[in-house]
Structure 1
């Protein structure tokens, strides 16, 4: 009876040792112990759209902002900028606008165009004012004399690296204020700037 108990105890001890070796050791091929498998979790993050900047504006620009315009078909590239709007013009007053011009006082926009590539001419004609009711006011075409100075040129050629800057005068009704200043050349895109409340 004693021998049987000793034999059973020895067998159990051997079986326990073998189980421990199998759990900690190598497999029957003699390879090194393999680490436990790991799980990698990948999280997909979608970037939220960035807030528009002056380089990528949405709608009308704020006064002072600059926009680059490219006309590949004409081989030109330039920047256009509206720096400020003044109503009424606070410098020496030219003769009051004529009745047919649609206003009783003068307002001015300080504007600038710089040539980046190609050659082209600039003038005041692409500029206008737009009101909340949809009406607009164009330039008169009057230059020189007592018109607000310095005037934006009426016909000047620019080449890369050159700029033109000056005032564009508009005959406006003194009791109304426009909402936008618009640059709209005959060809290419138009750009508009919000005119601050007076």
Structure 2
């Protein structure tokens, strides 16, 4: 009688353990009890299923390469701005940068840029463009202009109508032995700045 009771108890225990294991597997539990599931990006998953990738942001974070545009909206007007190229030390104007500003070791640099108004009404100015250096220094465009400066010049200030663009060159007086890290367009929000990397010379 004692043996029969022991056998029944053993079978019952085995059934109980088996049921517990099956229940754990069905609920997705692991040996460590971790039931957390990895999160997934639904839009990327659906895009992958269609064999396509998710659309990139129109204004990706970080500096762009020259030629890449940046779109920003102010007071309902949307402007696309682009830094096209940077040159330094290749210009021999009537007056040197040192002669003009009473400095030592400065030279002229030129940035070519373009602004296109998508809609609305806006005023553009060359003073929105700035050169940023590794030491934190920032240099604004030259306050003077001469007939032998590169043409066409980006305007000091101009009204732009929807569907039209302004393109030109702006001169900067810069340290001859340094190159800026970036060209900045400062008429944007600090959280989403417009900036372009300057290639090493």
Q: Normalising TM by the smaller chain, what interval? A: 0.5 to 0.7
What CA deviation, in whole Å up to 9, does each residue of 1:88-142 have, x standing for no partner? 244x524111345676211111100001111111111011101111111111222
Change (3 A) 1:60 1:104: same
How do 1:57-136 residues align onto structure 2 when only pairs under 5 Å count? 57-71=60-74, 74-90=75-91, 93-97=93-97, 98-100=100-102, 104-136=106-138
Q: For residue 10 of structure 1, what is the aligned residue in structure 2?
A: none
Conserved? CA contact 1:52–1:58, under 8 Å: no
Partner Cα distance (1:51, 1:87) in 2: 39
Give the CA deviation at 1:144: 4.1
Partner Cα distance (1:55, 1:121) in 2: 23
Two-structure CA RMSD over aligned residues (Å): 2.9
Q: Give the TM-score of the pair, scaled to structure 1.
A: 0.67
How do 1:131-146 residues align onto structure 2 when only pairs under 5 Å count? 131-146=133-148
Change (3 A) 1:111 1:102: farther
Q: SS where residue 185 of structure 1 aligns?
A: coil
Conserved? CA contact 1:102–1:171, under 8 Å: no
Conserved? CA contact 1:127–1:184, under 8 Å: yes
Q: For residue 23 of structure 2, what is the aligned residue in structure 1?
A: none
Change (3 A) 1:120 1:126: same
Conserved? CA contact 1:54–1:65, under 8 Å: no
Q: SS where residue 135 of structure 2 aligns?
A: coil
Q: For residue 173 of structure 2, what is the aligned residue in structure 1?
A: 171
Mark the runs of 5 or more structure 2 residues left unpaired by the alignment.
1-38, 48-52
Partner Cα distance (1:100, 1:60) in 2: 33
Partner Cα distance (1:99, 1:57) in 2: 38
Answer 1 or 2: which has greater helix percent.
2
